Structure 1
Amino acid sequence: MRRQLASLLLVAILGSIHAPAALARSEKTLAYTRETVWPAAVRFLVVDERVKVTDKDPDAGYVLFELKDEG
């Protein structure tokens, strides 16, 4: 019993070392325009998430904000 447990543990360790990295990607195209989504996204960050937006570019869809670690 002890030997089986040790070999099972060894297989689990070796399997986790040589396991390939999991890659995932999700994308969905919606009918919302950038003019509609952009202000809502920035508002979500500022009002709901209470982060400080330091830089933004609506044309590129770029937002840079400060995120404080509260842990």
Structure 2
Amino acid sequence: MSTKAAASNLGQILKEYLIQWQDTRNYWRDAKSAEFEHKYLEKLPGYVQITRNVMDEMDTLLSKLKRDCE
């Protein structure tokens, strides 16, 4: 799998995870769920975007490396 494909998959997995979290919130509504959401989930999209950007940079570097070795 290419890094571009992996980055795309990561974005899709995040979307699916957040949908599942919303379903979970229908049943888990207390201070701990709010704490969990604030402490971990609110930051997750930003972390995923940073990771995707780095993976795109890696793809560019790997492509250049491959061309340079040919």
Which structure shows the higher strand fraction? 1
Q: Structures share a fold, TM > 0.5?
A: no
Q: Could you say which structure has the greater relative contact order, defined with CA pairs below 8 angstroms and 6 or more residues apart?
A: 2
TM-score normalised over the length of structure 1: 0.25
Q: Which has the larger radius of gyration?
A: 1
Which structure shows the higher helix fraction? 2
TM-score normalised over the length of structure 2: 0.26
